Each structure stands twice: as structure tokens, then as C-alpha cells.
Amino acid sequence: MGDWCIGVIGGSGLYVLDQLEDAQAQEIETPWGKPSGPVTTGCIGGVRFAFLPRHGPGHGLAPEGVPYRANIAALKQLGATDILAISAIGSLREEMAPGDFASVTQFIDRTHGRPQSFFGNGLVAHVPFGDPVCPRLTGWAAAAAREAGATVHEGACYLSMQGPQFSTRAESRMYRNWGADVIGMTALPEARLAREAELPYALLGMVTDYDSWREGESVDVAEILQVMAANADKARRTVEQLARILPGERSASPIDRVLDTALVTAPGARDSKAVSRIEQLVRRKIA
């Protein structure tokens, strides 16, 4: 049992969490470099939060330029116990309309060239990722979004594309055939890294547009920005409602110690520097 500290990663349109009480901007350095920007810590309704805008102040970072490892490591260093990511997404389903929210439970990865792991030569690990989000945090986040006035679609499959261009019509229709429901550019490798850092992760997608699968229509950035502004207000109210919904004490999650059975490099063959970095990340000795 313990206290909550929810790391909130704000996507496009969500750059501040201005309802934080006793807010402090923290400049963090991690073994993987600096995060996207300062992390703002504070409380809402007695619950601790650490907020990080994924694309940095003023949205200066493109999807492939986000320092995903440093972002996750910075939140962990500041005491985050769980992560709620809030992301702008396109819809691949008619029923998921602009302005709605989608609670994500699965991912399809179409990104490339992004560091995917905290591990590598000298310290190899394979974490389970069949169920990539935390079911309890995902459920609470969906309930909080509804309390905040959002229409929420649960159980969505998120297609993570490379970007920064939007999809062609052929790609968008192919993704629909694959079973994807929504599309974005940033959830991976973010969710994978959260799992390796032993942080339960949930993703709420804010639908800004229909992707290009609809005949005669295309993605329009000006329209996206308008929807984004309204969605961001709902997202901030969602965080407030989440603080109210969370149980008073945090019970343990299986994800909290997922590395206990994930490391495959024999102790005698492990690189000492790699071990030191991971121990800084998870804040305990690795057996």
C-alpha cells in the first residue's frame, strides 16, 4: 500500500495543467538526457501529480524528436507511481467523432528509428507486453473523462504511425482493416518504456479529426486545432475527476516489479554501467 503520484503526459494541445496546487517546475537530468521540458509537480485534491508536456513548451518537438526515454525516466525519478498519457488522435471509426475521447487498450506499432528500450547489449530484458496498459488506471481514467463531460469509447486499438505527415487514404483504409480504431504518432515507444520502468500506463485519446479514410475528406490542421482547444479543457477536468476517483491508498500492481522475471543476462555477464542506469530508473537493486 502507498501513496499515488500520477505522472501525466500531455499531448498536442495540452501543454499546462494549471489547476495544480503548490506547483513547482522541476528541471530534470536523467541517464538518457533531458526530458521534453520542465516537469511541473503539485497536488489536486490531495493527490500528487507530475505533469510533462510531451512536445515541450510551445510544441517544439516533432513526434520522432520526443525524448521518450528521458520523459519516462524523469517522471520515475520524481516519484511517479503510474502514468496517464493524454494524446490527440485521429479516428478510424465513424462512431468515434471529433471531440470524443477513446480509452486505449491495444497498440499496433508502425514507427521506426526511435529508441525502443532502456535495455540493450550488456543488459538484456524482455518485458511482457501482451496487455500493454494498466486495466485499473485505464478504467478510472475512462470514468473520470465521463465525469468531465466527455463521450468515451473504451477498448480502442491505437495505430502508432511515424509521421509527421498524416496517412494516405490507402494507408488509413488498411489500418481500419487491420482492426485499428484510432491513430496517432506518439504512444509508442512511450508505452513500452513505461512498462520497462515498471510504471502502470493508461492512454486517453482525444479525437480531433477523422483520418483520411473517408471519401472526399482530408485531415485539416486548422479544424484540428479548434477541436484540440475544447478537448484540452475536458482533459484538465478529467485529471481533476481522476484525483477524486482514485482510492485513498495505492495497492500494489503486478507491473510494479515486472523486471523481476524479465532480465535474461546472467549476473556475471552484465555491464555495470547499464545496471547502474537501470537501478537509477527503478530505484532498487536488480537481482
Catalytic residue list contains 109 = no
Q: Please say whether the beta carbons of 48 and 123 come within 8 A.
A: no
Distance from C-alpha of 120 to C-alpha of 56, rounded to nearest angstrom: 27
Give the model's pLDDT for residue 226: 81
Give the model's pLDDT for residue 221: 74
Give the CATH number of domain 5-282; options: 3.40.50.1580, 3.90.740.10, 1.10.1370.10, 2.60.40.10. Answer: 3.40.50.1580
Q: What is the pLDDT of residues 177-222, one digit of tens each?
A: 999 999 999 999 999 999 999 999 999 999 999 999 998 777 777 7
Phi-psi domain of 155 (left: phi exceeds 0; alpha: psi -120 through 50; beta: other): left
Catalytic residue among 211, 233, 260, 271: 211
By residue count, the chain amounts to: 287
More confident residue, 221 or 156: 156
Catalytic residue list contains 211 = yes
Q: What is the pLDDT of residues 248-275, one digit of tens each?
A: 999 999 999 999 999 999 999 999 999 9
Angle CA(260)–CA(76)–CA(29) in degrees, nearest 5? Answer: 125
For residues 41-45, give the mean pLDDT.
Answer: 97
DSSP line for 159-220: EEE--SS---HHHHHHHHHHT--EEESSHHHHHHHHHHTT--EEEEEEEEEE-TTSTT----
Percent of the chain with pLDDT over 70: 99
Catalytic residue among 82, 100, 181, 209: 209
Q: Please say whether the beta carbons of 211 and 183 come within 8 A.
A: yes
CA 181 to chain centre: 17
Give the model's pLDDT for residue 1: 42
